[in-house]
Amino acid sequence: MAGVALADGRSQDFRLISPWEAIADDLEERCYLVTQPHDANSTLNQVLSKTGAMSTEQVRLVLDQVLQTLEFLHQQKFALPLGQVQTGLVHGNLSLDSLVVIKGKEPEFGVGDFIYLCDLSLWERLFEPFQTEAMNGSVAKDLTALGYIAFYLLVGQAIDENGKPLRPKDDGLWTGVYLPLKKYILRLLELDLPFENATDARRALLQMPLAPVIDQFGLEAEVEKKPKQFPKALAVLVMALLLAALGKLALVLLVKPAPAEVAPPISSMKEVGGMPIGAYTYTAVENGIWDKFLQQTGLSGVPTGQRLKDYWRRHNRSFS
């Protein structure tokens, strides 16, 4: 890493672009840097000028990758050019221009793309004595700078029409921004309870719920959840069935059925029908209901004083 390497000799790619060599010109006051090929890619500032504001998930992806690299820088032990071994380095130069985008296959920024950090402030003071006492404050500055980067990505620009930097305290610039992401960025900016370090900041980012809706400007906004609506065709069908059921119920309740015809009571034995003509023998149980009935007198249609049994015998009916 241009004179800076991991103290234990490991080689790890934490998306950090480092100059391989610096060559001074013997004839002119200039210096040439030999760097990784990634350094030729577009910066995040150039991407933003072409594509405009990013969505919530795109900003979250940028935050996650940058925080991973900051965790590495802030916690690992490095061997410096003069032989010092230092635990933790700060970037000190985070901006839209010091973040390089390594594009994947998709045209829009997203999963498959990577953010590399470059232009560490260390390159400007590589051979200066390291200021250990300034380390904690510098870590906080790295997180604050990342908060501004996220804010600019959501808004789609870093300066206003007058060339002045946009201010996160302007509530009008947060319109439509997903509320949990807004609160998170305010913490990075130390406008709310600040994070202690990059590890805590990344942990909180991973715990943030996904944004539910994407608004018309491409920003994911927190909106009130609306109940699911039935499709129009289904609603019409349900309404038709309901009206049919109500109509049938009204018909049953309002229309009175015609009274059933009731045959007049038989007042005389002569009116009893369905008896075949001829001589027949009937059997009744002695002292049973039918036997007692046949012994009755005074029945309508039967001569006075005559039993029904005797009356029917005269009319070709016999009983036993």
Together in a domain, 174 and 285:
no
Radius of gyration of the chain from its Cα atoms, rounded to whole angstroms:
49
In a domain, 107, yes or no: yes
Determine the Cα–Cα distance for residues 249 and 232; give it in Å rounded to an integer.
26
- pLDDT tens for 42-89 read 899 999 999 999 999 999 999 999 999 999 999 888 877 667 788 888
E strand or H helix at 66:
helix 56-75
In a domain, 231, yes or no: no
Together in a domain, 16 and 164:
yes
Together in a domain, 207 and 66:
yes
Together in a domain, 217 and 281:
no
Backbone angles phi, psi at 25, to 5 degrees: -80, 130
Q: How confident is the model at residue 145 (pLDDT cuts 50, 70, 90)?
A: very high
Together in a domain, 117 and 192:
yes
- pLDDT tens for 258-285 read 666 666 766 665 666 666 666 666 677 7
Whole-number mean pLDDT of the chain? 79
Structure tokens at 192: 């709310």
Q: How confident is the model at residue 306 (pLDDT cuts 50, 70, 90)?
A: low
* The pLDDT value given to residue 99: 95
E strand or H helix at 72:
helix 56-75
From 202, 221, 240, the end of a domain falls on 221
In a domain, 264, yes or no: no
Determine the Cα–Cα distance for residues 142 and 146; give it in Å rounded to an integer.
6
Q: For position 155, which CATH number holds?
A: 1.10.510.10
In a domain, 289, yes or no: yes
* The pLDDT value given to residue 112: 86
In a domain, 228, yes or no: no
Together in a domain, 217 and 282:
no
* The pLDDT value given to residue 258: 64
* The pLDDT value given to residue 100: 94
Together in a domain, 141 and 58:
yes
Structurally, the chain folds into a number of domains equal to: 2
Sequence-ordered alpha helix ranges (H) in 127-276: 135-155, 179-188, 198-207, 232-254
Whether 119 shows a pLDDT value over 70: the answer reads yes
Range of the domain at 186: 5-221
* The pLDDT value given to residue 297: 66
